């Protein structure tokens, strides 16, 4: 709404008044020229009529030619009159009425406060917007961004880009930048809270427009296998068993999908003390049970 309040400033109102008044003067000059054209064609039609009426009926060739000229003059005159009527009917009066200009000048400085405090009804706000807005043009420049171009009465324009909600992180235009930022600051030793604060401060937003939370940063790390202490981590292998990563590869699912089922208790499994990771028996029945869980045919598993 800042655009609208700027357009209602005294300077902008005065500028709009001059531009719109000039538009009305141009319209009046065009209509005046059209009226002069109609008068000229009417005169030619009357002249052709008099010439035809004075012609000698016995001289059929001359009479026929004068009659043809008269009919052409009449058609041209009628067409010009019709165009003039249409132009007069559709030529808008652009100038802002004097009483409205006075009201806008008086209330302009107080309008933002009145607007925010809801002293005005929705219908009044809409009516006020229509006084200065000529048209609004929208153009999607990215999956999550729309360029808005407001054309004010008088010709001034305001162009801004606005973020719009999307269905998921992968549809964000800055999704790769968010992932790279998370990975970078994890390597720098920053906590999830600090990374979330940095992402929010630099203008990144969640798909629905909210701030990026600590939980979101954690999910991004898990999804991309970004470990907080990579030097301490090592691949875990034990004969006859499968790790979460190995299970994910065999089931063609993400590591996070299995891990979050363990965290929420849907999958009950103990962490191996020696390997210090979750291990599953490497049997066909293990894969079959997990597929049934992911397909919704069973609700809980206990290994």
Q: pLDDT at position 268, please?
A: 92
Question: What would the CATH number be for the domain defined by 241-302?
Answer: 1.10.1660
DSSP for the chain, written as a single string: -HHHHHHTSHHHHHHHHHHHHHHHHHHHHHHHHHHHHHHHHHHHHHHHHHHHHHS-TT-HHHHHHHHHHHHHHHHHHHHHHHHHHHHHHH----SPPHHHHHHHHHHGGGHHHHHHTT-S-HHHHHHHHHHHEEEEEEEEEETTEEEEEEEETTS-EEEEEEE---SSGGGSTTHHHHHHHHHHHHHTT--HHHHHHHHHHTT---TTS-PPPHHHHHHHHHHTT--S-TTT------TTEE-HHHHHHHHT--HHHHHHHHHTTSEE-PEETTTTEE-EE-SHHHHHHHHHHHHTS-S-EE-
Q: pLDDT tens digits, residue range 106-143?
A: 555 555 665 666 655 677 667 666 767 778 888 888 88
Q: pLDDT tens digits, residue range 66-111?
A: 888 888 988 898 888 888 888 777 765 555 555 555 555 555 555 5
- Residue 239 — very low, low, confident or very high, per pLDDT cuts 50/70/90? confident
Q: pLDDT tens digits, residue range 149-187?
A: 888 766 678 888 888 888 888 889 899 999 999 988 888
- pLDDT of 144 higher than 80: yes
Q: 0.75 cut: is pTM over it?
A: no
Q: pLDDT at position 292, please?
A: 92
- pLDDT of 11 higher than 50: no
Q: pLDDT at position 178, please?
A: 92
Mean pLDDT, rounded, of the chain: 79
- Residue 31 — very low, low, confident or very high, per pLDDT cuts 50/70/90? confident
């Amino acid at each position: 709404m800042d655009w609208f309040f700027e357009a209602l400033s005294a300077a902008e109102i005065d500028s709009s008044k001059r531009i719109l008044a000039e538009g009305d003067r141009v319209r009046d000059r065009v209509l005046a020229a059209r009226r002069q054209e109609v008068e000229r064609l009417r005169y030619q039609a009357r002249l052709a009529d008099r010439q035809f009426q004075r012609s000698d009926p016995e001289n059929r060739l001359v009479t026929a030619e004068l009659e043809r000229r008269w009919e052409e003059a009449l058609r041209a005159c009628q067409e010009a009159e019709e165009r003039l009527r249409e132009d007069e009917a559709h030529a808008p009066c652009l100038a802002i009425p004097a009483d409205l200009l006075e009201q806008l000048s008086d209330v302009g400085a107080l309008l933002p406060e009145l607007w925010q405090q809801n002293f005005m009804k929705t219908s009044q706000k809409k009516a006020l917007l229509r006084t200065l807005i000529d048209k609004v043009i929208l153009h999607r420049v990215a999956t999550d961004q729309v360029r808005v171009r407001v054309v004010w009465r008088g010709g001034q324009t305001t162009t801004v880009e606005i973020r719009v909600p999307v269905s998921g992180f992968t549809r964000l235009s800055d999704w790769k930048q968010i992932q790279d930022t998370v990975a970078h600051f994890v390597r720098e030793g920053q906590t999830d809270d600090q990374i979330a604060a940095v992402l929010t401060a630099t203008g990144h937003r969640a798909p629905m427009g909210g701030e990026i939370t600590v939980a979101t940063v954690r999910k991004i790390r898990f999804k991309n296998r970004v470990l907080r202490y990579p030097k301490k981590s090592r691949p875990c292998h034990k004969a006859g068993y499968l790790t979460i990563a190995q299970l994910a590869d065999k089931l063609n699912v993400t590591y996070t999908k299995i891990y979050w089922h363990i965290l929420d208790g849907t999958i009950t499994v103990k962490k191996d003390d020696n390997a210090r990771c979750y291990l599953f028996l490497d049997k066909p029945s293990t894969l079959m049970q997990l597929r049934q869980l992911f397909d919704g045919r069973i609700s809980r598993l206990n290994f």
